[in-house]
Amino acid sequence: MTSIDTEKLYQRFRILKERRSLWESMWDDCYEYALPQREGFFSQNMALKKADKLFDATAADAVDQLASSMFAELTPPWSRWFGLASGIEITEDEEKKTAAFLEQAAETMQYHFDRSNFAVEVHQCYLDLVSVGTASLLFEEAKIGESSAFKFTAIPLRELYVEEGGNGRLETTFRFSEITYEVLKSRFPNADIEGILSQKGTDNPQEKVKVLEAVIPRDAGGYDYIAMLGEDSLSGYGDKEKRILKEGVFENSPFINFRWQKVPGEVYGRSPVMKALPDIKTANKVVELILKNAAISVTGIWQAEDDGVLNPANIRLVPGAIIPKAVGSKGLSPLEAPGNFDVSQIVLSDLRQRIKHALLNDRLSLIDAPSMTATEVLERSAEMARILGATYGRLQSELLTPLVMRALAILRRRGEIPAIYIDGRLARLQYQSPLARQQAQKDAANTLSFLGYVASMGAEGTSVVNMGAAARWLGKTLGVPQELIREEGENPLQNNPLVTLAQGVLGNAR
């Protein structure tokens, strides 16, 4: 017997569906110009027809490059983009003992991320994020025996209905999807599949049924999960309990919803494509007019006298054609075009430049230069951090932190890592993605500049600097592995294999 009122859930879903309908036409336009041939909201095949009206690919190319840049800067594949460090309540002596312990847990998580389908699915989410401003990643636990404990699915926005919680995050999630009975049986093995098929009067397992999934935060912590048949699917099937496919409780929400930019009072995010959509549509129309003008220039416009001999319907303008005409008539003659369309190139160039600027294509792409100095690299990194500062702060809160928290919960439950909780007191989360390291590199550059100035002062200046502590701080700031840094007071010759070998040789000689 479930403790969740399914009728209230259906009612809540209807409210969210009505609220989301205000965005759907905007999202469909963004998909049409930024991700062509993508299944639309109103019809799954509508976007395939709309691709015939697309004449300019500037926006689609810029979206692809921006999504790839976000992927490489935030969650680079086969690279550590997160780490675990000791919290504020850990003493110096305890930190030395827990460093290796936390490093091993982080390595275990990285192992499962690398061997899962995370890189494939999260890139699709970045495409949605850049195009429509909101994306969702379903983070599930894989079956026992799989190469990874993690399983990811990029949720299409047409299936997603969200609601903002008290902390400003998209915590309440409804997913309304259509799946075949074969997939239904695989995902929900305890469901009464035979009863559902007989009620619908079919025995085809490839027919689709509507399923509503809901993840709702609990007052006492955690999240309630329930999956049930859609309200308009098999409304006469059994009682309410039989329509419930699965229910349970999660420590962390399996749906990770994140946004590019948010305006006060709105739930769904805004994307850079939305900002550039007027220019994208105008550029597409300009290219269309240029192509029409080019077609006129190639084939021309012709006029003919109605002399009773010439039949325009039978004329074919091909090389070697003979067109009959009456004696004394002009026959077929070309009509001179009123002018050229050269100004369109100036307009189109300006539009494409604004589109690339809005989608950060001109600021995040590589500089076309043979080499850059160290100062240029640092300045470019600082510029990237400034441009993506607000977006990165939101993604850090809505994407990266929930990813690691959910991963820790799955591995703790499996017993692959000990009971580690990221609360800031005993353990804390460190971000080690290329974008997160920009500030660390700036701090390290400032420290190195200070050490250079001090060195120029001579022995009196260097005497006030603890070079060992400075080197250890630089290593920690730049993310150097702990085992490569010697602790303060440790003998450099201690546990050195070359020293041990030399001592053994001398002992034998004596």
Assign 378 to helix, strand or coil. helix
Distance, in Å, from the CA atom of 377 to the CA atom of 372, rounded to the nearest integer, reads: 6
Single-letter code of the amino acid located at 448: L
Structure confidence at residue 295 (pLDDT):
77
Helix (H) or strand (E) holding 96: helix 92-114
Structure confidence at residue 499 (pLDDT):
47
Which band of pLDDT confidence, cut at 50, 70 and 90, is reported for residue 234? low
In Å, what is the CA distance from 296 to each residue of 282, 299, 300, 307? 21, 5, 5, 26
Which band of pLDDT confidence, cut at 50, 70 and 90, is reported for residue 44? low
Q: What percent of the chain has pLDDT over 70?
A: 79
User: 304 pLDDT exceeds 80?
Assistant: no
**CB distance 128 to 31 below 8 Å:** no
- Residue 228: beta bridge partners? 212, 244
Give the global pTM: 0.83
- For 448, other C-beta atoms within 10 Å of its C-beta total 12
**CB distance 173 to 160 below 8 Å:** yes
Half-sphere exposure of 425 (CA within 13 A, CB side): 2
User: 47 pLDDT exceeds 50?
Assistant: no
Which of 162, 116, 95, 69 has the alpha carbon at shortest distance from 433?
Answer: 69
| Strand ranges in 322-361 using DSSP code E only, listed in sequence order | 332-335
Structure confidence at residue 238 (pLDDT):
53
Which of 403, 414, 439, 449 has the alpha carbon at shortest distance from 152?
Answer: 403
Structure confidence at residue 293 (pLDDT):
78
Q: pLDDT tens for residues 115-166?
A: 999 999 999 999 999 999 999 999 999 999 999 999 999 999 999 999 998 8
Chain centroid, CA 220 distance in Å: 31
Among 93-102, 134-143, 246-255, the minimum mean pLDDT is found in: 93-102
Structure confidence at residue 434 (pLDDT):
78
Backbone angles phi and psi of 226, in degrees to 5: -145, 135
Structure confidence at residue 388 (pLDDT):
78
Q: Which two tokens stand for residue 326?
A: 């009456």
The mean per-residue pLDDT over the stretch 256-277 comes to 94
Q: pLDDT tens for residues 395-449?
A: 999 999 999 999 999 999 999 998 888 877 788 888 888 777 776 777 787 888 8
Helix (H) or strand (E) holding 153: strand 150-155
Q: pLDDT tens for residues 50-87?
A: 567 789 999 999 999 999 989 988 999 888 899 888 88
What would the DSSP string read from start to end of 187-228?
H-TTS-HHHHHHHHT---TTSEEEEEEEEEE-TTSSEEEEEE
Q: What percent of the chain has pLDDT over 90?
A: 38
DSSP state of 336: P
Distance, in Å, from the CA atom of 342 to the CA atom of 66, rounded to the nearest integer, reads: 31
- Tokens 């401003």 locate to 133
Q: Which two tokens stand for residue 260?
A: 């590019």
**CB distance 244 to 227 below 8 Å:** yes
Structure confidence at residue 277 (pLDDT):
95
**CB distance 32 to 50 below 8 Å:** yes
Which band of pLDDT confidence, cut at 50, 70 and 90, is reported for residue 451? confident
Distance, in Å, from the CA atom of 229 to the CA atom of 233, rounded to the nearest integer, reads: 6
Backbone angles phi and psi of 460, in degrees to 5: -65, -35
Assign 412 to helix, strand or coil. helix
Spatial neighbors of 27 by CB under 8 A, at least 6 apart, are 41, 132, 157
User: 19 pLDDT exceeds 50?
Assistant: yes
- Tokens 């300045």 locate to 379
What would the DSSP string read from start to end of 159-171?
GEEEEE-TTSSEE
DSSP state of 77: T
Helix (H) or strand (E) holding 82: strand 82-86
DSSP state of 486: P
Label residues 275-313 b or e (16+ Cβ within 10 Å = b).
Answer: ebbebbbbbbebbeebeeeeeeeeeeeeebeeeeebeee
Quote the mean pLDDT of the chain.
Answer: 82
The mean per-residue pLDDT over the stretch 452-469 comes to 81
Which band of pLDDT confidence, cut at 50, 70 and 90, is reported for residue 370? low
